[in-house]
Amino acid sequence: MKTWRIAVGSTRRPKLGAVEEAWKTIAPLLGGERAGMEIAGYEAESGVSHTPASREELMKGARQRVEALEFSLSAKGLSADFFVGLEGGLSAAIEKGVRRVFLESWAYVSDGMRGHFGCSGSIELPSPLAEEVLDRGIELSVAIDQFAGAVGIRDGQGAWGVLSRNLITRQESFRRAVESAFAPFYNLRMYRASSAASG
């Protein structure tokens, strides 16, 4: 049996854990003879701000992590079956004249030829926390530590865990994003049918 090799553009524990958890549900859907998995994390720059502040920036950061990862591994003569880029940050919308700010986790997955995005969903930030990040330029990881009176939240439950009272952790939010981004690979029949119908 062959082993699936998944390269992740991060070495942070919640992100690697999210990919590992997601892979357990994704792998059987891909079929074939491969059974084992090898997940490796690498530092990969996103090319966006420390706390992305729009959906477009989140998507750009996730994609650019994959592009940087593909380039870096190729230069070293290394390869993978899939490359995964993960980006967390904020997205704002105006609703009835009020700015509402949401925390989102995004994933971009590529097999080296084509890539797809997935998102976890959103959770609304309290206005004072949103103001700290968007209006005062404080990095979300710093602001959430101050807001919650703790240290290193980003590498544990994350802002997701603080805001949802741990019903949804940072790792869980990224897991959902990864599962969504992989859909065109594990549900190929549906996505091929969709492409054929629109062609």
The predicted structure's pLDDT at residue 147: 85
Q: What is the 3-state secondary structure (H, E, C) of 76-140?
A: CCCCCCEEEEEEEEEEEEEECCEEEEEEEEEEEEECCCCEEEEEEEEEECCHHHHHHHHHCCCCH
- The candidate with the shortest Cα–Cα distance to 172, out of 157, 185, 162, is 157
pTM of the predicted model as reported, rounded to 2 decimal places = 0.91
The Cα-based distances of 98 to 53, 121, 136, 137 in angstroms read: 17, 20, 18, 20
Cα–chain center distance at 111: 16
Cα–chain center distance at 106: 4
CATH 3.40.50.300 fits 3-192, yes or no: no
The predicted structure's pLDDT at residue 164: 94
Along the chain (199 residues), what's the average pLDDT of each consecutive run of 10 residues? 91 96 92 82 95 96 98 96 97 96 98 96 95 93 86 81 92 97 94 63
36-41 and 82-95: which strand pairing?
unpaired
